């Protein structure tokens, strides 16, 4: 109940809950009764200390295990001073542990400051957010490490564990802060991949070396299954499988494997491809099976979106049949000519002139998304 951002408060969440003590009590009581796990909550302070203490007493009676307190009001931001006095008053009032929050910058700049902030608030412990983002080595008892050293180490971890470059970039920007306008900061701001981030910090050679190592590990792992080497393999269900993914950068502009497959089916007078896509509840990834001429094709690698999964399935079909898939240097000329030909010259017939029908979003955790009536242009 501490987030003051509009995307939370306009939905009645975050700090907006602080104005509805009845709802707070109902939520916390339900959680405490419904789980054996310790339940905690986090709040901001209210406009008056009296109201704040009244609220935390009511919260304590729900049976929660601890409460974290950000010592600022809902409308206040980091530039406003944190109220150590308010947190102390709460800690002295309650019998459950109180976790102090909001001390970054003004109070916490190195490891020893964490304990000083705890003592100033009489809290049982301290929650550190921004100071840890600025320099994670704040948790080292021997003191802060140079920022350049910390960023270099962080980048190496990010590449080694294949962290998405946008998250890596965000964290590095938080570390650079006022140095974002420096030459290195500008290079970081312009980076559009993990490789470009590494190059901005002089780690280009490390990126190449680690990429080769990761690819070798991946190849070794995939080689344990018959479909992994990129060769088609048919399992007991009759589905031809390969371990492939669709990378937009490897394909010609405006051309996709699904387009190539649809074009080939039309030329061969076959029914259009039918895609059946499911979403895995555990990690919300997608897998698609495409049926062409009564044969099913599937990639064994799960994708982050329905469209990417369908493109991967189309690639399996095209590769197993030895057909062009639209990769750079092998696009099918007919895909370009179709836009200029008259309707009676179009090998696809009138259907090629039909408008695209937007695909429907998957809202269920595990449900078939494709159907025989799906628009052939969906996902292009």
Residue 133: how many other CB atoms lie within 10 Å: 16
| Torsion over CA: 245, 248, 249, 250 (sign) | positive
Q: What is the pLDDT of residues 7-20, one digit of tens each?
A: 999 999 999 999 99
Check which CATH number belongs to the domain holding 255 and give it.
3.30.160.20
Which of these, 158, 237, 234, lies nearest to 200 by C-alpha position? 158
Domain membership of residue 118 (yes or no) is: yes
Q: What is the pLDDT of residues 205-224, one digit of tens each?
A: 999 999 999 888 877 776 66
Domain membership of residue 227 (yes or no) is: no
Evaluate if residue 228 carries a pLDDT over 60: no
CA distances from 170 to 158, 165, 178, 199 (A): 12, 8, 14, 16
**Maximum average pLDDT range among 187-191, 236-240, 250-254:** 187-191
Same structural domain, 297 and 245: yes
Q: How far apart are CA 142 and CA 227, in angstroms?
A: 51
Domain membership of residue 228 (yes or no) is: no
Domain membership of residue 340 (yes or no) is: no
The region of weakest confidence among 30-44, 129-143, 271-285 is 271-285
Q: What is the pLDDT of residue 223?
A: 65
Q: What is the pLDDT of residue 236?
A: 56
Same structural domain, 64 and 12: yes
Among 321, 356, 374, the domain-final residue is: 321
Q: What is the mean pLDDT of residues 65-72?
A: 98
Domain membership of residue 172 (yes or no) is: yes
Instruction: Tell me, yes or no, if 3 is annotated catalytic.
Output: yes
Q: What is the pLDDT of residue 1?
A: 96
Evaluate if residue 163 carries a pLDDT over 60: yes
Evaluate if residue 197 carries a pLDDT over 60: yes
pLDDT band at 369 (very low <50, low <70, confident <90, very high): very low
Could you give the number of structural domains in the chain? 3
Domain membership of residue 226 (yes or no) is: no
Same structural domain, 21 and 107: yes
Q: What is the mean pLDDT of residues 353-372?
A: 39
Same structural domain, 172 and 117: no
Q: Find the distance separating the first CA and the last CA of the chain, reported in whole Å.
A: 42
Portion of the chain with pLDDT greater than 90, in percent: 73
Same structural domain, 53 and 122: yes
Same structural domain, 205 and 258: no
Q: What is the mean pLDDT of residues 313-333?
A: 85
Q: What is the mean pLDDT of residues 3-31?
A: 95
Q: What is the mean pLDDT of residues 308-336?
A: 84
Same structural domain, 128 and 28: yes
Same structural domain, 127 and 11: yes
Q: What is the mean pLDDT of residues 25-54?
A: 97
Check which CATH number belongs to the domain holding 26 and give it.
3.20.20.70
What is the domain extent for residue 242? 233-321
Domain membership of residue 89 (yes or no) is: yes
Evaluate if residue 337 carries a pLDDT over 80: no
Is residue 69 within 8 A of residue 43, CB to CB? The reply is yes
Q: What is the pLDDT of residue 234?
A: 52
Among 64, 98, 132, the domain-final residue is: 132
Q: What is the pLDDT of residue 252?
A: 82
Domain membership of residue 333 (yes or no) is: no
Considering 3, 171, 173, 362, which one is annotated as catalytic? Answer: 3
Among 132, 161, 196, the domain-final residue is: 132
Same structural domain, 33 and 99: yes
Q: How far apart are CA 273 and CA 311, in angstroms?
A: 12
């Amino acid at each position: 109940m501490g987030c003051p951002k509009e995307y939370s408060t306009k939905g009645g969440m975050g700090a907006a809950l602080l104005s509805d003590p009845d709802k707070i009590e109902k939520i916390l009581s339900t959680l405490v009764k419904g789980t054996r796990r310790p339940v905690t909550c986090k709040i901001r302070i209210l406009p008056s200390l009296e109201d704040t203490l009244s609220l935390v007493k009511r919260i304590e009676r729900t049976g929660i295990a601890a409460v974290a307190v950000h010592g600022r009001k809902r409308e206040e931001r980091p530039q406003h001073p944190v109220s150590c006095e308010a947190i102390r008053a709460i800690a002295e009032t309650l019998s459950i542990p109180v976790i102090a929050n909001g001390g970054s910058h003004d109070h916490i700049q190195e490891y020893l400051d964490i304990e000083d902030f705890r003592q100033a608030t009489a809290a049982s412990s301290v929650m550190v957010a921004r100071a840890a983002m600025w320099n994670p080595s704040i948790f080292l008892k021997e003191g802060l490490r140079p920022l350049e050293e910390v960023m270099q180490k962080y980048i190496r971890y990010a590449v080694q564990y294949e962290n998405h470059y946008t998250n890596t970039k965000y964290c590095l920007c938080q570390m650079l802060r006022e140095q974002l306008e420096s030459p290195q900061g500008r290079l970081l701001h312009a980076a559009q991949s993990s490789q470009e981030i590494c190059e901005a910090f002089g780690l280009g050679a490390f990126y190449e070396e680690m990429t080769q190592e990761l690819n070798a590990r991946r190849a070794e792992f995939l080689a344990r299954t018959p479909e992994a080497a990129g060769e088609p393999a048919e399992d007991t269900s009759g589905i031809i499988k390969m371990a492939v993914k669709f990378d937009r950068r490897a394909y010609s502009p405006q051309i996709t494997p699904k387009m190539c497959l649809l074009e080939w089916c039309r030329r061969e007078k076959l029914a259009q491809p039918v895609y059946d896509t499911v979403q895995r509840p555990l990690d919300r990834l997608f897998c698609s099976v495409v049926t062409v001429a009564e044969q099913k094709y599937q990639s064994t690698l799960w994708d982050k979106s329905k469209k990417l999964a369908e493109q991967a399935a189309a690639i399996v079909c095209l590769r197993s049949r030895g057909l062009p898939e639209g990769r750079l240097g092998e696009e099918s000329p007919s895909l370009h000519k179709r836009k200029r030909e008259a309707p009676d010259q179009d090998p696809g017939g009138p259907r090629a002139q039909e408008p695209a029908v937007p695909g429907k979003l998957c809202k269920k955790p595990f449900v078939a998304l494709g159907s025989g009536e799906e628009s052939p242009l969906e996902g292009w």
